[in-house]
Amino acid sequence: MAPSGLTEAEAERRLAERGRNEVAPAQPVAVYNRVLAQLRDPLIMVLLGAALMTVVIGDHPDAVVIALVIVFNTTVGVAQEVRADHAVAALSAMSAPGARVVRDGVPRELPATMVVQEDVLLLSEGDIVAADARLTEASALLVDESMLTGESVPVDKSRDSLLSAGTVVVRGRGVATVTATGGASALGRIAALLEGCKEPTPLQRRLASLGRILAVATVVLCVLFFAMGLVRGLPASTMAVTAISLAVAAVPESLPAVVTLALALGAHRMAARHALVRRLPAVETLGSVSVLATDKTGTLTEGRMVVQHVWTPRGEADLFGVGYEPHGDVRTENRPLTPDELAPVRELLKAAALCNDASLNPPRQPTSEGDRWTPVGDPMEAALLAAAAKAGCTDRTILRRTYPRTQEAPFDSSRKRMTTVHGTPTGAALVCLKGAPETVLNSVILSDGSDLIRGARQQAALMASRGFRVLAVAAGELREQPESVARAETQLRLLGLVAISDPPKPTAVATLTACREAGITPVLITGDHPATARAIAQRVGLVGKYDTSQVLSGQDLAAGRVDDLTTIRVFARTDPQQKLDIIAAWRTRGAITAMTGDGVNDGPALREADIGVAMGARGTEVARQAADLVLTDDELSTVVAAIEEGRRVYDNIRRFLVYGLAGGTAEILVMLIGPLVGLPLPLRAGQILWINLLTHGLTGVAMGAEPVAPKAMHRPPRPAGQHILGAGAWQRLLVLAAAVTVACLVCGAAAHACGLPWQSVLFLALLGAQLGIALGLRARLLTKQNVFMPGAVAVSALAAAAALYFPPLQSLLETEPLGWSGIALAAAAAFTGYVAARISRSAFSRKSGSWRGTSPGTKVRRRQG
């Protein structure tokens, strides 16, 4: 390659031959494919069969209702997927939107997608590396590789170092030759691991199983009831219509609508809490999560470098504040420093602020919560500027005007230190130096005694063991400007040590505590150094203060030094494949996993996990496309809120199933047992379908909006293999069905004995008993959070009255108006349904706690809720 770079002609030839410099985008899903995916759901297929049967028997109104349910379910599901994809596209940005290259000997800017192999890249502070490249020139170059490696500290780069696409230059400049583009780059190779279809969610698997059972039960029911009618000598045509009507009643046709509404409301609530759901079924899956694998930088930590501790030969101090804001306290032993104690701290931080190339930008909108001070340049140098301001040092601009820089030796990988020389108001020269302790704490540089140097080394080692990035700062004064920086770096005085880290978020401890209370096992997976990972894990309470066995490095993982990865809680220095292995180990054990991430290196694990959670504010495009959930506020606590919403959704679906199937079972039992107690044909086909429409329709759908149950986040997650009617649900269903059946048959028999219109009494009693169950099953009985529920019950009750007193409906449904005695009998059945629901809910809650069984890493706690 010539020094002048490629020619335009050669670049165009390579572009045509090897393609654009981009990871192949995900192919858009056609709307018709989304619709077909919705219609392939087993429950929807059952409803399609039910709609066909209603058409056969001439019940066109019910066929229309079922068709509307199918259309509603499909429309909402497709709309949510499309809306989520559009929202993610709005959040997305190109990994490297532009690049500066040399073409025909002339620097020029062009889109990153037009970069080709062997192009010459020109890099400077703030640039995003457009493709994999090898450095041919480097000057004080510092690169942030966290989106690929997870390492929170920028990496120093020198000549011949390799650069990866998507990394960010935070300081210095460089010239590099492109070695790989597009799918051949490191970013492309990781993105290739995302290929493959997403497995069905737990809810989809459970509902599919239930759909198959209902389909078989429906066919058996039709045949059985039809045969019994023929044995009793009833007309075949009448029995055929009634059998089909009863089969339709047995299928809770509003279940897909309830599920879709519950998921859509959950997605809407999550969006209001800064969580964007990309696929509706993921809402419920969150409620099943038993393991939360989280990254460190920006998730458990603030994602900002902060000076937290300062050591000087005369004392120590702790610094407090938020991010890069130049405001905060300087304290020691939980009290403010005296002026004498503050003086050495201020002197140290003043030298650190002078030996510094970074700057801090104030927020554009100071009143905006999300707008904060931002660093320009090396984040660690920016942290030193913020610390100097907290200690009361003069403003950076004034400080540099007072002490103008006259000479400098930038930081590089061989020197491991930076030195600047400044003029002073008295005409003397001030020398400031900062760098790695092992370099600065050197007798050749410092004039301090050996005891002080030995003590400083011990302090540096202690800080490093606690996960801090440690810098040593020294300074000295010369009568006149030195001939060179090398001459100035002699006989300097040690000012002290600075401990810098990416501190935990204030909410991190509470968030992990909430996870444990919910029976969720938190696991930390990071690309950072093991000491840093351990320190953060200890500070947020993920592992014990003196526990070292719970931290496993990627090297140890590769060597197979641990047989069971689910016994480890902290993983450090992991690569993308190892993250996949960790998630796979938990899933093999039966756990439902959620994985958070923001970098390209997190993409494969986000796809592998049951729920992938990407950071929307700082996350990469690869991470967002791989995720099921995108957090627009990058807060881990939002995941916990989303898990709570998932549990609410699943509770509401189970509640509807208990309600709908109990009512359907009661209708079947009434039809089968009624003739045995003197009620020849208990209900007509139209009456069955009207009951079904009112109970499974508006009222059933309203259940999907019920608020979260008390103490929902104080119970362990349900086992992954548990049936959707497990944990006592099917027992409660049978109890309620039996109670309603007995109550309604007693009412019908009493009405028959008293000469009342017994079939109309039985019709109203069966409908009222189911509405009573709907109210009795509420977790929060008198809550105002879902006024739609009592409103739906009231509307259904009015529609039931209309069936008895509105002449056109009387004629259609073959009912008769009831007097007060008949209404009283039906009301007694409704009250029986309500009481049975309250008693069964309380009894089964005490018996089974919340869910039976345990999830990995949790113990069952028996709680009522």
Which tokens hold the place of 234? 């009833």
Cβ–Cβ under 8 Å, residues 651 and 865: no
**295 in active site:** yes
Which tokens hold the place of 607? 């796809």
Number of residues in the chain: 865
Cβ–Cβ under 8 Å, residues 375 and 382: yes
**Own/partner long-range contacts of 478-482 (Cβ < 8 Å, ≥24 apart):** 478/428, 478/429, 478/431, 479/428, 479/429, 480/427, 480/428, 480/429, 481/406, 481/407, 481/421, 481/423, 481/429, 482/407, 482/421, 482/429, 482/431
Which of these, 761, 771, 766, lies nearest to 818 by C-alpha position?
761
Which tokens hold the place of 749? 């028999």
- CA torsion sign for 786, 788, 790, 792 is negative
Strand duo 570-572 + 551-553: pairing: parallel
Q: How far is CA 752 from CA 99, 755, 759, 813, in A?
A: 87, 5, 8, 19
Task: Enumerate residues 6+ apart whose C-beta is below 8 A from 823.
Answer: 764
Distance CA 117, CA 181 (A): 6
Which of these, 273, 234, 286, lies nearest to 650 by C-alpha position?
286
At residue 497, what is the residue type?
A: L
Which of these, 840, 821, 833, 844, lies nearest to 742 by C-alpha position?
833
Which tokens hold the place of 518? 């919910």
Between the two ends of the chain, the Cα-to-Cα distance in Å is 71
Taking every pair of C-alpha atoms in the chain, what is the biggest distance, in angstroms?
A: 121
**Partners of 291 in the β-ladder:** 521, 593
Which tokens hold the place of 40? 């392939």
**Partners of 249 in the β-ladder:** none
Report the alpha-carbon angle 828-834-837, nearest 5.
Answer: 140
Distance CA 532, CA 509 (A): 17
295, 357, 598, 634: which one is catalytic? 295
Cβ–Cβ under 8 Å, residues 50 and 251: yes
Backbone angles phi, psi at 284, to 5 degrees: -70, -35
3-state secondary structure 340-393: HHHHHHHHHHHHHHHCCCCEEECCCCCCCCCCCCEEECCHHHHHHHHHHHHCCC
| Ranges assigned E (strand) in 79-192 | 98-103, 106-111, 120-124, 132-144, 155-157, 162-163, 168-180
Which tokens hold the place of 557? 């993982």
In 10 A of CB 151, how many CB atoms?
18
Helix axis angle, 42-56 to 202-231, nearest 10°: 30
Distance CA 829, CA 514 (A): 43
The SS3 assignment for 480 reads coil
Rg (CA), the chain: 35
The SS3 assignment for 530 reads helix
Backbone angles phi, psi at 721, to 5 degrees: -90, 5
The SS3 assignment for 416 reads coil
Which tokens hold the place of 245? 């009507």
Which residues participate in catalysis according to the annotation? 295
